[in-house]
A and B are shown apart, each in its own frame.
Chain A
Amino acid sequence: MIPLGTKAGPVASPFSPEQQKRFDEGFEEAVAKYPPERRRAALLPALHLAQDALGWLPEAAMAYVGHLLDIPPVRVREVATFYTMYRLHPVGRQHIGVCNSVSCWAMGSEKIIEHCASRLGIRPGETTRDGQFSLEEVACLASCGTAPAALVNNFTYVESVTPQSLDQLIEKLRKEPGQPMATERKP
């Protein structure tokens, strides 16, 4: 039996050296925002950083972040599964989220989602076979005046979407590399 209070051993980093450098910089910055005795509060930004590097949050990344901040793995998992922006599975290099809340819905977001799905050949929640696109329905994006709204890769707003503008967007995104390593699993 493992006695209470046993510390887990060091956890291997899931990042490549280059990713590690960027992660470390961001991590320092995030931790510096909180009082030293409250550094555990930096869990959310740290998970964001890990996801920025890997495209999603594999178990190894959660364990690593938990180790850095001295948070038990179960608490890290609790946070990672609670918030919708954290990806627990690999998604496409270009992840499109279309808002389905009331203002966007009234302005025809259902049609936009349908159009996007048929254009990409996937349903919401799925990823295309080549790993370039994934589609999701998301909750209100605070962009109701320019409804329907969409969100690319969690942070880029696309507003006043029409089927035509969506087609153009998809063509544009097809040529761009998008999120790093989003679909490549590390062995």
Chain B
Amino acid sequence: MTGPKILTVDWDKPESWSLSTYKASGGYTALPKALKMQPQAIVDEVVKSNLRGRGGAGFPTGMKWNFVRKETSFPKYLVVNADEGEPGTFKDREILLKSPHMFVEGLIIGCFAIDCHLTYVYCRGEFRDSAMKRLQQAIDEATKAGFIGKNILGSKFDLEVHAVFGAGAYICGEETALLESLEGRKGYPRLKPPFPANAGGGLFKQPTAVNNVETLANLPPIVNLGGDEFSKIGLVPKNGGTRLFAVSGHVKKPGVFEAPMGISFKALLDEYCGGMRDGSTLKAIIPGGSSSAIMTAAEADWASDFDTLKAKKTMAGSGAVVYLDQSVNMAHALANVMRFYAHESCGQCTPCREGSLWMKKITDRMLLGGGVVQDPDTLKTVADNIAGRTICAFGEACAWPTQSFVEKFKDEFNQRSQKPVPPAMPPEYTPGELIDHEKITTAPLPRNPGWEETARAGTI
């Protein structure tokens, strides 16, 4: 293992989740410091640190907080997104299980910075008995120690922290869907603007910052090190700090690894995960959760920061890296990914609801040996027509893998789509013809059911 350890310092220690362990390694030293600063000064440090949201979009956290600070409507809320559902991602669960106090300290600092007195941590429902239990323990411990509650450490700052949980919906990881779910409704993403950070768009229509668990866990180090120092840890400009990479797939040692922002995928594989498992050669990399466009083995030297990958038309996403080996058939893999999206589309926008299912049907047909020559092109067309035509980013999330899989592994898709195009369907009536119904000859019923006679007689 190489590189600086900021978030994972305690992870190997016994009972790493307890308050005493966290305090022994310098925990809760940032909080008193932060409470003595001006809230705006904390946000300025976060801006300087170049901390980018770790949930997927990589939006600069300081900028988001500045939006919330500018609003004059009170109360303001901070909502934590712990609804980790992107296939491949498991870093937030590890944080909550192994060092929940680091996250809680960051949460308190974050609330102080945006002047929020009531905060919710929205965990995914499946975490209730594992990760969320441990988080609740940490919150209770911190409350007992006086870090949460009224007049925290004599600063006249009050804070109430609640952990709540969802009920199993991938879409609730989208920030506005999460807010809807938190308000007790089904998780339909909201139309933006107003954005959650603005009045009218957030939780209970109040200005709200929605942040990822890992993002907030970075707050104590930023306060302790200072924004500039933190920013330098990243290997590329505008991407501060380290990142937790959740590595899975055919590697020797899968797991969550802390590496500087901007490490290349090859270095991540060789230095942290011990390379591919025996007998495996790298074939493809999913760089940021299944929503990101896939990379081939030849592209493994790309840096893993937000800007580089955006320029290469994929994304750093949630930091979930899946290394796939030669045993994987890409058409089969896409069918699996599409099954997920078809299942999880919330159904609000037609292009995504129908398109994701359509793409699943085509990839399933390919697997069963019925793929027709046009199928790869149809897949691309469908994907092109979803991206950018939906309320939330789910549309892109199901379009990008399709577009990239088909483009980068053309041969495998062509191989599975060799059936000739079926003959055209018999002509159907146009809407115009249906309105002008005289042109449509009604087919006689095969047997007279006797309705007309019954009606005429007036009895049954």
A155 and B128 in contact, given A38-B183, A101-B290, A143-B93 (Cβ under 8 angstroms): yes
Most A CB contacts (10 A, CB to CB) among B169, B248, B256 go to B248
Contact A82 B290 (CB under 8 A): no
A144 x B128 contact (CB < 8 A): no
Query: Is the beta-carbon distance between A40 and B184 smaller than 8 angstroms?
Result: yes
| Residue of A whose beta carbon sits closest to that of B337 | A102
Whether A169 sits at the interface, judged by CB under 8 Å, is no
Do the beta carbons of B93 and A142 come within 8 Å of each other?
Answer: yes
The residues of A that contact B186 with a CB separation of less than 8 Å are 78-79, 82-83
Contact B87 A144 (CB under 8 A): yes
Task: State whether B93 touches A84 (Cβ < 8 A).
Answer: no
Give every chain A residue within 8 A of B340 (Cβ-Cβ): 100-102, 139-140
Residues in chain A near residue B437, CB distance under 8 A: none
Residue in A closest to B327 when the chains form the complex, CB atoms: A106
Q: Judge if B305 is at the interface, Cβ distance under 8 Å.
A: no
Which residues of B sit under 8 angstroms from A102, Cβ to Cβ?
87-88, 286, 290, 322, 333, 336-337, 340
- B167 sits at the interface (CB 8 A): yes
Segment touching B, from A42-50, A116-124, A125-133: A42-50
A142 with B85: in contact, given A44-B167, A84-B169, A102-B290 (CB under 8 Å)? yes
B166 at the interface (CB under 8 A from A): yes
Say if the beta carbon of B452 comes within 8 Å of chain A.
Answer: no
Q: A residues 19-47 with Cβ under 8 Å of B?
A: 33, 35, 38, 40-45, 47
A33-B162, A41-B182, A139-B340 known; A84 vs B167 contact (CB < 8 Å): yes
In the docked arrangement, what's the CA distance between A41 and B164, Å?
A: 11
User: Does B400 sit within 8 A of A, measured CB to CB?
Assistant: no
The residue among A35, A44, A156 with the most chain B CB atoms within 10 A of its own CB is A44
Q: Is A145 an interface residue (CB 8 A)?
A: yes
Cβ-based interface call for B124 (8 A): yes
Most B Cβ at <10 Å: residue of A48, A84, A100, A101 = A101
Asked if B5 is an interface residue, CB under 8 A from chain A, the answer is no
Contact A79 B184 (CB under 8 A): yes
B174 interface residue, CB < 8 Å from A? no
Q: Is the C-beta of B382 less than 8 angstroms from some C-beta in chain A?
A: no
Bound Cα distance from A101 to B92, whole angstroms: 18
| Minimal beta-carbon separation of B44 from chain A (angstroms) | 31
Interchain nearest-CB distance for A108 vs B (Å): 10
Query: What CA separation (Å) do A96 and B365 show in the bound complex?
Result: 28
Contact residues, B78-96 vs A (CB, 8 A): 84-90, 92-93
Query: B456 at the A/B interface (Cβ < 8 Å)?
Result: no
On chain A, the residues within 8 Å of B184 by CB distance are: 40-44, 69, 71, 79
Report which of A71, A83, A140, A146 forms a contact with B125, defined as CB distance below 8 A: A83
Q: Given A85-B125, A102-B337, A145-B248, are A139 and B182 also a contact pair (CB < 8 Å)?
A: no
Query: Is B250 an interface position by the 8 A CB rule?
Result: yes
How far apart are A66's CB and chain B's nearest CB, in angstroms? Answer: 11
As a 0/1 sequence over residues 315 to 357 of chain B, the CB contacts with chain A under 8 angstroms (1 = contact) are: 0000010101000100001001101100110100000000000
**B378 in the interface (beta carbon within 8 A):** no
A101 touches B336 (CB 8 A): yes
- Interface residue? A151 (CB, 8 A): yes
Give B346 Cβ to nearest chain A Cβ, in Å: 8
Question: Which of chain A's residues have a CB closer than 8 A to the CB of B320?
Answer: 144
When the two chains form the complex, which single residue of B87, B129, B167, B346 contacts A101, counting CB atoms closer than 8 Å?
Answer: B87
Is B254 in contact with chain A by the CB < 8 A criterion? yes
Question: Are A154 and B322 neighbours in the complex by a CB distance under 8 Å?
Answer: no
Residues in chain B near residue A157, CB distance under 8 A: 126, 130
Q: Which of A43, A101, A105, A142 has the most CB of B within 10 A?
A: A142
User: A79-B184, A79-B185 in contact; A139/B85 too (CB < 8 A)?
Assistant: yes
- Complex CA gap A139/B89 in Å reads 12
Q: B187 in the interface, Cβ–Cβ < 8 Å?
A: yes
Asked if B306 is at the interface (CB within 8 A of a chain A CB), the reply is no
A85 to B167, CA, bound (A): 5
Question: B160's closest neighbor in chain A, by CB?
Answer: A33
Which A residues are CB-close (under 8 A) to B194? none
Task: Give the residue of A83, A103, A139 whose beta carbon is less than 8 angstroms from that of B343.
Answer: A139
Partner of A75, one of B185, B333, B337: B185
Docked-complex contact B90 and A142, CB < 8 angstroms: yes
By a CB distance below 8 angstroms, the chain B residues around A71 are 184
A154 touches B87 (CB 8 A): no
B194 → A minimal CB distance (Å): 19
Which residue in A38, A105, A146, A151 is a CB contact (below 8 Å) of B336?
A105
Complex CA gap A94/B130 in Å reads 18
- B165 within 8 A of partner (CB): yes
C-alpha gap A128/B240 in the complex (Å): 53
Bound together, the chains give a CA A40 to CA B181 distance in angstroms of: 11
CA distance A125 to B125 in the complex (A): 20
Chain A residues whose CB sits within 8 angstroms of the CB of B92 once the complex forms: 142
Q: Which of A33, A138, A144, A156 is B90 in contact with, Cβ under 8 Å?
A: A144
Flag B31-51 by CB within 8 Å of A: 1 or 0 each.
000000000000000000000
Cβ proximity bits B396-415 to A, threshold 8 Å, 1 near / 0 not: 00000000000000000000
Partner among A138, A147, A156 whose Cβ is within 8 Å of the Cβ of B129: A156
CA distance A42 to B184 in the complex (A): 6
Among residues of B, the one whose C-beta sits closest to the C-beta of A105 is B336
7 A–B contacts, CB within 8 A, in A order: A69-B184, A100-B339, A105-B333, A105-B336, A140-B170, A145-B246, A155-B126
Q: Which residues of B contact A (CB under 8 A)?
A: 84-90, 92-93, 118, 120, 124-130, 162, 164-170, 181-187, 204, 246-250, 254-256, 286, 290, 320, 322, 324, 328, 333, 336-337, 339-340, 343-344, 346
Residue positions of A touching B, CB distance < 8 A = 33, 35, 38, 40-45, 47-48, 69, 71, 75, 78-79, 82-86, 100-103, 105-107, 138-147, 151, 154-157
